[in-house]
Chain A
Amino acid sequence: MKVNVTVNGVAYEREVEARTLLAYFLREECGLTGTHVGCDTSSCGCCVVVLDSDKAVKSCSMFAAQADGHQVLTVEGLANGGTLHPLQQAFWDQHGLQCGYCTPGMLLTSIILLKHNPNPSESDIREGLAGNLCRCTGYQNIVKAVQQAAGTLGVQV
Chain B
Amino acid sequence: MIPAAFTYLRAHTSDEAFAHLQQYGAEARVLAGGQSLIPAMRFRLARPAVLVDINASSDLNVLRVNGNALAVGAIARDSDIERAPWITDRRWSLIRDVSRVVADPVVRQMGTVVGSLCHNDPAGDWTAASLAARAEVTVRGKDGARDVKIDDFLVDSFTTAVGEGEMALGVHFPVADDRTAGAYQKVERKVGDFATAAAAVQLSLNADGTIREAGVALSAAGPCAVRVDEAEQMLRGQRPSAELIRAAGDAASRRSAPQADLRGSVEYKKNLAGVLVVRALRQALSRLGVQA
**Contact (A130, B109) CB under 8 Å given A19-B5, A66-B55:** no
Evaluate whether A128 and B105 lie within 8 angstroms (CB atoms) in the complex, with A1-B8, A61-B110, A65-B8 already known: yes
B6 x A61 contact (CB < 8 A): no
Q: Interface size on B (CB < 8 Å)?
A: 31
**CA–CA, A48 to B79, complex, Å?**
16
A53 within 8 A of B: no
Question: Knowing A18-B6, A127-B105 touch, does A40 contact B38 (C-beta < 8 A)?
Answer: no
Flag if B106 contacts A109 (CB, 8 Å). yes
Hey, which chain B residues are within 8 Å of A1, CB to CB? 8
Q: How far is A57 from B107 in the complex, measured between Cα atoms in Å?
A: 7
Question: Taking the nearest CB of chain B, how far is it from the CB of A152, in angstroms?
Answer: 23
Give 1 or 0 for each of A21-44: 1 = CB within 8 Å of chain B CB. 100000000000000000011110
- How far, in whole Å, are A107 and B163 apart by their CA atoms in the complex? 42
B42 A40 Cβ-Cβ under 8 A: yes
By the criterion CB–CB under 8 Å, are B8 and A63 in contact?
A: yes
Q: How many A-B residue pairs have CB under 8 A?
A: 83
User: Of A68, A113, A131, which one neighbours B103 at CB under 8 angstroms?
Assistant: A131
**Residue B84 at the A interface, CB < 8 A?**
no
Determine whether B89 belongs to the interface, using a CB cutoff of 8 Å to chain A.
no
Q: How far is the CB of A75 from chain B (nearest CB, A)?
A: 15
- A91 CA to B274 CA in the complex, in Å? 44
- B172 to chain A minimum Cβ distance, whole angstroms, is 25
Q: List 24 A-B contacts (CB under 8 A).
A: A18-B5, A18-B7, A18-B8, A19-B3, A19-B4, A19-B5, A40-B1, A40-B42, A41-B43, A42-B35, A55-B110, A56-B109, A61-B34, A61-B110, A62-B34, A63-B8, A63-B31, A63-B34, A63-B38, A65-B8, A109-B105, A130-B191, A131-B103, A131-B192
